Structure 1
Amino acid sequence: MIRFFLKSSVLISVLLFGILIGMQQVGFQMDKMKGSESENRALEWNVEENGAVEAEVLGQNITSHDLQEKQKQLENVEAFNLFSKLGAMISSLISDILTLFMEIIGTILNKILYFLFS
């Protein structure tokens, strides 16, 4: 049993180490594909003295004003998602059914206990 545990733990360690090396190599290869050999970060934040926030996402500058405009656009768009509506209806139905079921069980138990102890 101990030998099995040792073999399993060594195998898991080797595989985990291989996964970490693979992830590092993928990162290097993605940087090479982008054509950026420098140490560019995917996301950088800059907060100015007046409170404005600027972010740089993959080389594109985004200010807090841009983010506010996009948030307003998202609030104005009334998207209809069929699956979201169906999910909400089903969860509401299940909740109502379970509530009714619990009320029925509570009423039955209440009557049984009333008859037993009265």
Structure 2
Amino acid sequence: MASFIGKCILVSAVMFFGVLLGMQQANNGMLEMKGYKDPDLKGALSFSEGEAKEASILGHQIDLEEKQKELEQLEAFNFFSSAGRALADTVTNSARSLYDWIKEKTD
């Protein structure tokens, strides 16, 4: 029995160090793929604030004021949002009424 437990601990330790080594190798690979030493490589999303707020996604400039106006004009009805809100209100009211009913019975 002791030899079985010893073998299990040994195998677990080897696997644990194997996972740590794999994570380190994956991290090094990601850093090489990102290219931190390449000054031409830009981030995926960047914001700059000045007189006008600016944003760029993958190097393409985006006009935030124009996007905000488009979103305000849409005023789309979101069925899932309203259904979720109704479900949450129903569950809240049911729980509250159940709590009040139990409290009334115990008093």
Q: TM-score range by the shorter chain?
A: 0.5 to 0.7
Counterpart of 1:79 in structure 2 is 76
CA deviations on 1:21-68 (whole Å, 9 max, x unpaired) are: 33654672x88xxxxx764122344444xx333333211123xxx112
In the alignment, the residues of structure 2 paired with residue 4 and residue 101 of structure 1 have an alpha-carbon distance, to the nearest angstrom, of 51
| Matched pairs, number | 99
Counterpart of 1:107 in structure 2 is 104
List aligned pairs for 1:48-59, cutoff 5 A. 48=50, 51-59=51-59
C-alpha displacement of 1:13 = 3.7
Q: Is the 8 A contact 2:53 2:64 kept in 1?
A: no
Q: Is the counterpart of residue 11 in structure 1 residue 8 in structure 2?
A: no
Over the matched positions of the two proteins, sequence identity in percent amounts to: 28
In the alignment, the residues of structure 2 paired with residue 13 and residue 81 of structure 1 have an alpha-carbon distance, to the nearest angstrom, of 49
In the alignment, the residues of structure 1 paired with residue 22 and residue 16 of structure 2 have an alpha-carbon distance, to the nearest angstrom, of 10
Which residues of structure 1 form unaligned runs of 5+?
A: 32-36, 111-118
Counterpart of 2:85 in structure 1 is 88
TM-score by length of 2: 0.63
C-alpha displacement of 1:71 = 1.8
TM-score by length of 1: 0.59
In the alignment, the residues of structure 2 paired with residue 75 and residue 3 of structure 1 have an alpha-carbon distance, to the nearest angstrom, of 65
